[in-house]
Structure 1
Amino acid sequence: MKINQNTVLQGQRVTLVPYTAAHVPRYHEWMQSEELQRLTASEPLSLEQEYEMQRSWRDDADKCTFIVLDTERWSGQACADEDCMVGDVNLFLTDAEDPTLGEIEIMIADPSYRGRGFGKEATLMMMSYGVRNLGITKFEAKIGQENEASIYMFKKLHFKEVAVNSIFQEVTLRLDVSDQERWWLLEQTNHVEEKSYVELKLPAGVLQT
């Protein structure tokens, strides 16, 4: 989605940056993990296929993707993006009849960052971005039944379990963003700073693809 191709969202633990070609080799390395393939229901891709996927995620109007960075390591430009990557967070607007529904996915790929609040903050930041910038009023998360930590996290974020697919061994959780939920969500993310990716990381006038 091109709307976020120059957007940086900087939080306390995590910073969200647009998914560019520079991130692909590290992302591809992650996705060789059988554990991550299982948890994300993904098939292994070649590096060239991964580059093609990155381009589609940038260009397609129904996908909004950010790479999750470690804020502490990344801030001050002490660490290149690809050396600070810990995961990614996505919104898929796949219901043509309901553009206010977004399916959210979070992956903390680096095991050393799990269970430390990075996934929670990244998810809240993406939800807030979706509500404020994409008109999302309903979120769904589809999670493998074995991924108990992720299910627990989404329930802590007020999602409710609405369906179980025994064939795919998948749980669907949902959150309808009422006025009260919107206020809570924006309050949870009022520390987040929105910045320009080009100005922060690239020479003036150069846009990374």
Structure 2
Amino acid sequence: MKINENTLLEGHKVVLVPYNEEHVPRYHEWMKSPELQQLTASEPLSLDQEYDMQKSWKEDDDKCTFIILDKQRWADPSVDEEQCMLGDVNIFLTDPTDLSLAELEVMIAEPSYRGKGIGKEVTLMMMHYGITKLGVKRFEAKIGLDNQVSIAMFKKLHFQQVSVCNVFKEVTLELTVDESIQKQLQDDVAYMKERDFRLARSNRHEFI
């Protein structure tokens, strides 16, 4: 999606940056994992196919993707950005007739970063971005039945379970954004800063 091609979102523990060509090799390595393929319902792709996918995601009007970076590591300009990657977060506009409905997907690909509250921070940041920049009014999350940690996290964020699909072994949760949800979200991510990605990248040391 073009809207975020030069957007950086800064949180407490992470920075979210556009999914660019230089991120593809690390992403490709992640997606060789059978565990991540199962969690994301993805098929393994060749590296060339992964580059094609990155280009299409950047151009498509119905996909908004950010790569999640470790903020502390990224603040060190001597560390390659690719080595700061820990996952990705996506908003998919799944219904062309209702652009206010969005599927939210968060992947913490690096196991050492799981269980540290990063998924929650990223989810809140992306929900706020979706509401304020994309006009999202209803979120949907589809999570594998085995992924009880993610299911519990979304339920804590007031998502309600609406269906279970035993064929695909996944549960669907939804959240309708009303005024109280929007206000709570603004309070929860009041610390978040939106920056010019290219400018921030050239001044990474300022993020320490």
- Using the TM superposition, give the Cα deviation of residue 80 of structure 1 relative to its aligned residue in structure 2, in angstroms: 2.5
Map residues 184-195 of structure 1 onto 2, 5 A cutoff.
184-195=184-195
Q: Does 1:137 align with 2:137?
A: yes
Q: Does 1:34 align with 2:34?
A: yes
Whole-angstrom CA distance in 1 between matches of 2:30 and 2:6? 24
Structure 2: gaps of 5 or more residues: 204-208
Whole-angstrom CA distance in 2 between matches of 1:44 and 1:33? 9
Map residues 18-33 of structure 1 onto 2, 5 A cutoff.
18-33=18-33
Query: Could you say what secondary structure the match of 2:68 adopts?
Result: strand
What residue number does 1:119 align with?
119
Map residues 3-18 of structure 1 onto 2, 5 A cutoff.
3-18=3-18
Bigger mean CA deviation after superposition, 78-87 or 183-192: 78-87
Query: Could you say what secondary structure the match of 1:77 adopts?
Result: coil
- Using the TM superposition, give the Cα deviation of residue 200 of structure 1 relative to its aligned residue in structure 2, in angstroms: 2.0
Query: Could you say what secondary structure the match of 1:42 adopts?
Result: coil
What residue number does 2:50 align with?
50
Map residues 91-170 of structure 1 onto 2, 5 A cutoff.
91-170=91-170
Whole-angstrom CA distance in 1 between matches of 2:101 and 2:202? 34
Map residues 169-180 of structure 1 onto 2, 5 A cutoff.
169-180=169-180
- Using the TM superposition, give the Cα deviation of residue 38 of structure 1 relative to its aligned residue in structure 2, in angstroms: 0.7
What residue number does 2:83 align with?
83
Normalised to the residue count of structure 2, the TM-score between the two structures is 0.95
Query: Could you say what secondary structure the match of 2:98 adopts?
Result: coil
- Using the TM superposition, give the Cα deviation of residue 170 of structure 1 relative to its aligned residue in structure 2, in angstroms: 0.8
What residue number does 1:206 align with?
none
Aligned residues: 203
After TM superposition, what 4+ stretches of structure 1 lie above 4 angstroms from structure 2? none
Change (3 A) 1:21 1:100: same
- Using the TM superposition, give the Cα deviation of residue 174 of structure 1 relative to its aligned residue in structure 2, in angstroms: 0.3
Change (3 A) 1:104 1:32: same
TM-superposition CA deviations, 1:95-132 (whole Å, max 9, x none)? 01111011000000000000001111011100000000
What amino acid sits opposite 2:13 in the alignment? Answer: R
TM-superposition CA deviations, 1:51-80 (whole Å, max 9, x none)? 000001100000000000011111253432
- Using the TM superposition, give the Cα deviation of residue 94 of structure 1 relative to its aligned residue in structure 2, in angstroms: 1.4
What residue number does 1:201 align with?
201
- Using the TM superposition, give the Cα deviation of residue 22 of structure 1 relative to its aligned residue in structure 2, in angstroms: 0.4
Whole-angstrom CA distance in 2 between matches of 1:51 and 1:202? 24
What residue number does 1:60 align with?
60
- Using the TM superposition, give the Cα deviation of residue 202 of structure 1 relative to its aligned residue in structure 2, in angstroms: 5.2
Query: Could you say what secondary structure the match of 1:146 adopts?
Result: coil
Whole-angstrom CA distance in 2 between matches of 1:76 and 1:189? 24
